[in-house]
Structure 1
Amino acid sequence: MSYKSDIEIAREAKKRPIQEIGAKLGMDADHLLPYGHDKAKISQDFIDGVQGKKNGKLILVTAINPTPAGEGKTTTTVGLGDGLNRIGKRAAICIREASLGPCFGMKGGAAGGGYAQVVPMEEMNLHFTGDFHAITAAHNLLSAMIDNHIYWGNELEIDERRIVWRRVMDMNDRALRDMVVGLGGVPNGFARQTGFDITVASEVMAILCLARNLDDLKKRLGDIIVAYTRDRQPIYARDIGADGAMTVLLKDAMQPNLVQTLENNPAFVHGGPFANIAHGCNSVIATTTALKLADYVVTEAGFGADLGAEKFMNIKCRKAGIAPDVVVLVATVRAMKMNGGVSKADLDQENVAAVAEGCPNLGRHISNLKAFGVPVVVAINHFVTDTDAEIQAIRDAARAEGAEAILCKHWAEGSAGTIELATRVAQLADAGAAQFAPLYRDDMGLFEKIRTIATRIYRADDVLADKKIRDQLRQWEDAGYGHLPICMAKTQYSFSTDPNLRGAPTGHSVPIREVRLSAGAGFVVVICGEIMTMPGLPRKPAALEIGLNEAGDVEGLF
């Protein structure tokens, strides 16, 4: 049986003018700044005007550790939002924007799939409204101004060996991870070692996603530490004089984007930090605005719950003063089989034993999420090859952890396939049973926070960090940064730092390679194992299959 591709389904969408979508949430056309007919930015004046309204219910969608079999977290987020609207609830979804890196690499897009998508899908996965380009430009403006300051006399006495601000681009390019700039003699400045990260790992991306308004944005940009002097005194972006110009570049990017699902329901799409190397959540301003306008807001956090959901709880909720009412944990039969040792080539064959063997991964995520004091529902994202016995094995595993598992067919059926999930989620949200609490206190030491995440979420035996890293953390505490939360950079494929250890591994340790202070964003990045902040392209990148057909339409983009 053949199925239409995601892009074919998206092209057939009967989109409504974006003003009609805004009207569903009480937005006048005057408060929407259109980008064409089907997408718009929401004005800051409107956002400021709704702050006195009561918040709706917040639903977080997360997942098990990703596998090559696919889990469909964004698809489930969209399907649940459509399902809530279908049963008569006023709901909106909040998701992240797509990075060009995975679009042309291997992971895919960020608009959902099948009949649970956000449109316009092609534009969303490419340049969209230019937010990522603005973030890249603002970040690299700061980089240029640092080197320019040194070239023209270095009034701030920056130690060129202690410049910690790298450059970024929104593409996977491993050749740029480590490089030397400034070669060619005096006209080109001072030669020094540096490198590139991908834009989604930029502190500017994190700042845009955590800032409440333009004033907060400018302050956070000014707080970025870019370098140190020879006596180890920090140099901030405001010392370089870059914060004002960076804010100008980000002025429009700061406004949330409004688009629609295939079923013409409102979707906020804004910001896009990865969850394996950054904090993995859409913007605070989009989520908090949606909460003022909708009775139910469905948002997602990237990759598995050990990364995205942990950071949503410990970073985003802490910074934004919000808390989830329900968590939906996405799993698939196919992914459970892979966790149980089945190869990708054999996933279409029934194997109930392998499903059961892989379910400890699901169980650990349920246990971890419940530790935050929030009700958990498992959404089984249905594939046509799933059998009743395999689905029942997941239901049984979820029940053993005190959670309910509900079969969802939104990929094939849209909102009709999520009625049961939507009904149950709304019931749990309305019941008000959540008693949310972060995993650690603000006043806990930085290394203790790292150890808490490693032992309680990853179930590691210990954290391995040499004296240099421990001393650096203590220095930051002495400088007044000890209250900051932790942003772990770790492989998404495993609870451990070894991407090949699937399931629910024990007996492992978490080695820390590097720590970075993101003073503007307001967290400490802890880089573990072999994770890279500039990914590389796979042997056969998706870009090989992407192009234009004779009609001028994009082909190969999912």
Structure 2
Amino acid sequence: MTYKSDIEIARAAVKKPIAEIGAKLGIDNSHLLPFGHDKAKISEEFIKSLEGKKDGKLILVTAINPTPAGEGKTTTTVGLGDGLNKIGKNATICIREPSLGPCFGMKGGAAGGGYAQVVPMEDINLHFTGDFHAITSAHNLLSAMLDNHVYWGNEEQIDIRRITWRRVIDMNDRALRSIVASLGGVANGYPREAGFDITVASEIMAILCLANDLEDLQKRLGGIIVAYRRDKTPVYCRDIKADGAMTVLLQQAMQPNLVQTLENNPAFIHGGPFANIAHGCNSVIATKTALKLADYVVTEAGFGADLGAEKFFDIKCRKAGLEPSAVVIVATIRALKMNGGVAKDALGNEDVDALVRGCANLGRHIENIQKFGVPAVVAINHFVSDTDAEVQAIKDYARSVGAEAILCQHWEKGSEGTIELANRIVEIAESGESNFKPLYEDDLPLLGKIEKIAKDIYRADKVVIDKKIENQLREWEAAGYGNLPVCMAKTQYSFSTDPNLRGAPTGHAIPVREVRLSAGAGFVVAVCGDIMTMPGLPRKPSAEAIHLDANGEIQGLF
């Protein structure tokens, strides 16, 4: 049987005007800032008018550790949102905006797949409404003002050896990881080591995704630590008077984006921090707005549950006061067989024994979600090569560890393929089974928080950390930052820091290479193993296949 590609399906979609999608949620057209006919931003005035309204139920979609075989977390999020609408519920989805880096690198687009997509797919995966460009501009404005401040007399007595603020670009470019800036003589400033991160790793991306409104945004921007003086006291963004102009650049970017699924159901796409080097969730303002407008809000957290779900619970929910009602853990038979030792080119062959071995990865994630007190269901994202015996094996395994697995065929059938999952999620959400609690308390020391995640979620035996880094954590605690959550920057492919160690490893160590204080965002980043905040392109990047055809249509994007 021949299947249409994702982009062919997306182009064949019969989209409704964005005003009609807004009307489904009770948003008057006057409160939509349209970007063409099929996407719009929601006004700040309208969002403020929702205060006091009752919240709907929040459903998190997470997954097993990603593999080259694919898991389909975004596709499942879209499919479940459509499924909930199909059974008569007022539901919407909240997902992240894709970064250009992965789109042109190796991951490809991130707007769902098959008959469970958000549209317009090409726009969403490229410039969309310009949010990432605004974040890049605001970030680099601060960089420019920081260097300018030093050039014109350095009133704040910044030690240029201790400038911590790097520049960003929304592209994978290893050549920019470490650079020397301000070469060329006196007129160009003071030469120093510098570098670039990818935009989705910017603290400003994290701030935009955690801020409640523009006032909160500016306060958080002002709290960014950009450098230190010779006496090691911090220099903040507000000290060099950049926070006001940065807020101006981000004013429109703070407004959530409204689009639609293939089945014309509303979808919020806003913000996009990476989950391995940032906190991996869409914006708080989009999620909170959706909860005021819909009875069910389905959102996702990046990569596997060891990263995305943990950060969703311990950072986003903690900071925003959110309480999820249920969790969906996405798994594919192909990915679990790969976790069980099957090579990628043999994944189409039935292998129940390898599948059961690989289910250890799924079981570890189920156990971890249970630590947060939220009931979880496994969604088996169906592939045509899956056999009945393999599907049954996952269901049996899930039952053996106190969970439930449901076959989902949304990629092929859209909402029809998630009706069973949607009905079960409604049962769980309405039962009030969830008793959500974060993994650790605010007053646990920073190193204790890192160790708690490493041992309870990653199942590491120990954390390997240099005495100098320990002292840095203690200094931040003494400065009043000890109550912040931690954001672990780690490979997404394994519970360990070795991307090749699949399954459910134990007995490993988590090496913490450095720690970074994101004082504006409100968390401490622990950089573990070889993870980088500026990815590089692979040997054959996706960009090589992306082009315009004779009809002026984009090919190769997804």
The alignment's TM-score, normalised by the length of structure 2, stands at 1.00
- Corresponding residue SS for 1:50: coil
Distance 1:427 1:264 in 2: 25
What is the CA–CA distance in structure 2 between the aligned matches of 1:80 and 1:205, rounded to whole Å? 27
Question: Could you give the per-residue CA deviations for residues 450-493 of structure 1, whole angstroms, max 9, x where no partner exists?
Answer: 00000000000000000110000000000000000000000000
Q: Secondary structure at the match of 2:463?
A: strand
- Percent identity, please: 76
Residue 398 (structure 2) aligns with: 398
- Aligned residue for 2:495? 495
- The aligned residue for residue 251 of structure 2 is 251
| Equivalent position SS for 2:533 | coil
- The equivalences for 1:429-440 within 5 A come to 429-440=429-440
- CA distance in 1: counterparts of 2:266 and 2:108, whole angstroms: 23
SS of match in other structure, 1:305: coil
Distance 1:343 1:57 in 2: 40
Alignment of 1:273-288 (within 5 A): 273-288=273-288
Following the alignment from structure 1 to structure 2, what is the Cα–Cα distance between the partners of residues 459 and 451?
10
The one-letter code matched in structure 2 to 1:520 is: G
State yes or no: 1:328 paired with 2:328.
yes
State how far apart, in whole Å, the 2-side matches of 1:52 and 1:442 are: 27
Letter in 2 for 1:446: L
Question: C-alpha distance in 2, partners of 1:7/1:21?
Answer: 22
- Cα deviation code 1:408-461 (max 9, x no counterpart): 000000000000000000110011110000000000000000000000000000
Show the counterpart of 2:239: 239
Q: Which aligned pairs between 1:308-323 and structure 2 lie closer than 5 A?
A: 308-323=308-323
Structure 1 residue 380 corresponds to structure 2 residue 365? no
Alpha-carbon distance between aligned partners in 2 of 1:40 and 1:173, rounded to the nearest angstrom: 31
Match in the other structure for 1:130: 130
Partner of 2:60: 60
Aligned-pair CA distance for 1:323 = 1.2
Q: Deviations over 1:218-251 (max 9, x none)?
A: 0000000000000001000000110000000000
- Secondary structure of the corresponding residue to residue 306 of structure 1: coil
Match of 1:163 in 2: 163
Q: Which residue of 1 aligns with 2:173?
A: 173
Aligned-partner SS, 1:260: strand
Amino acid paired to 2:521: A
Q: Residue 486 in 1 paired to residue 486 in 2?
A: yes
Are residues 1:101 and 2:106 paired?
no
1:340-370 CA-to-partner distances (Å, cap 9, x unmatched) read 0001000011100010010000000000001
| CA displacement, residues 145-186 of structure 1 (integer Å, 9 cap, x when unaligned) | 110010111111000000000000000001111111011111
Cα deviation, residue 397, structure 1: 1.5
Distance 2:366 2:109 in 1: 26
Matches of 1:50 and 1:338, distance apart in 2: 46
Would you say 1:224 and 2:227 are equivalent positions? no
Partner of 1:367: 367
Match of 1:512 in 2: 512
Q: Tell me, what secondary structure is at the counterpart of 2:307?
A: helix
Structure 2: gaps of 5 or more residues: none
Letter of the 1:90 partner, please give it.
N
CA–CA distance in 1 between the matches of 2:375 and 2:95?
21
Query: What residue number does 2:23 align with?
Result: 23
Separation in 2, partners of 1:204, 1:2: 44
**What CA deviation, in whole Å up to 9, does each residue of 1:77-96 have, x standing for no partner?**
00000000000000000000
- Deviation string for 1:470-521 (max 9, x for gaps)? 0000000000000000000000000000000000001100000010000000
SS of 1:298's equivalent in the other structure is strand
Could you tell me which residue of structure 2 aligns to residue 192 of structure 1?
Answer: 192
1:4 aligned partner = 4
Find the aligned partners of 2:274 and 2:417 in 1 and give their Cα distance: 28
| Count of aligned pairs between the two proteins | 558
The TM-score with structure 1 as length reference comes to 1.00
Tell me, in whole angstroms, the C-alpha distance in 1 between the residues paired with 2:267 and 2:286.
Answer: 10
* Displacement of 1:400: 1.5
2:21 paired with 1:14? no
Residue 337 of structure 1: aligned partner: 337
Separation in structure 1 between the aligned mates of residue 178 and residue 343 of structure 2, nearest angstrom: 35
Match of 2:524 in 1: 524
Distance, in Å, in 1 between the alignment partners of 2:291 and 2:192 is: 47
Counterparts of 1:398 and 1:324, CA distance in 2: 21
- Alignment partners' CA distance in 1, 2:92 and 2:43: 18
Cα deviation digits, residues 256-286 of structure 1 (max 9, x gap): 0000000000000000000000000000000
The superposition leaves residues 273-316 of structure 1 with CA deviations (integer Å, 9 ceiling, x where unpaired) of 00000000000000000000000000000000000000000000
Matched, 1:37 2:65: no
User: What 5-or-longer segments of structure 1 have no aligned partner?
Assistant: none
1:11 deviation in Å?
0.2
SS of match in other structure, 2:306: helix
Q: Provide the C-alpha distance between the structure 2 equivalents of 1:84 and 1:125, rounded to a whole number of angstroms.
A: 25
Task: Give, as a single letter, the amino acid of the residue that structure 2 aligns with 1:52.
Answer: G
Amino acid across the alignment from 2:151? Y
DSSP-derived class of the 2:231 partner: coil
- Distance of 1:401 and 1:162 partners within structure 2: 50
Corresponding residue of 1:353? 353
Counterpart in the other structure of 2:292: 292
SS at match of 1:345: helix
Alpha-carbon deviation of 1:110? Answer: 1.4
Q: Secondary structure of 1:384's match?
A: coil
Amino acid at match of 1:450: I
Structure 2 residue 384 is matched with structure 1 residue 411: no
Q: In structure 2, how many angstroms separate the alpha carbons of the residues matched to 1:26 and 1:145?
A: 42
SS of corresponding position for 1:118: strand
- Give, in whole Å, the separation in 2 of the partners of 1:276 and 1:388: 34
Tell me how far apart the structure 2 counterparts of residues 168 and 476 of structure 1 sit (CA, whole Å): 25
Counterpart Cα distance in 1 of 2:261 and 2:429: 22
**Distance (Å, rounded) in 2 between the aligned partners of 1:180 and 1:295:** 52
Per-residue deviation at 1:398?
1.0
* Aligned residues: CA RMSD: 0.4
C-alpha distance in 2 between matches for 1:487 and 1:109: 25
How far 1:383 moved relative to its partner?
A: 0.1
Residue 115 of structure 1 aligns with which residue?
115
Question: CA–CA distance in 2 between the matches of 1:51 and 1:76?
Answer: 30
Letter in 2 for 1:78: V
Partner of 1:460: 460
In structure 1, what residue type is equivalent to 2:100? L
Aligned counterparts of 1:343 and 1:199: Cα–Cα separation in 2: 34
Q: Distance in 1 between matches of 2:264 and 2:375?
A: 29
How far residue 2 of structure 1 moved from its aligned partner, in angstroms, is 2.1
Q: Output the CA distance in 2 between the equivalents of 1:193 and 1:323.
A: 43
User: Counterparts of 1:521 and 1:323 in 2: how far apart (Å)?
Assistant: 20
The 1-side partners of 2:366 and 2:430 are apart by: 21
Does residue 445 in structure 1 map to residue 472 in structure 2?
no
Equivalent residue runs for 1:69-84 within 5 Å: 69-84=69-84
C-alpha deviation, 1:3, in angstroms: 1.2
1:109 shift after superposition = 1.2
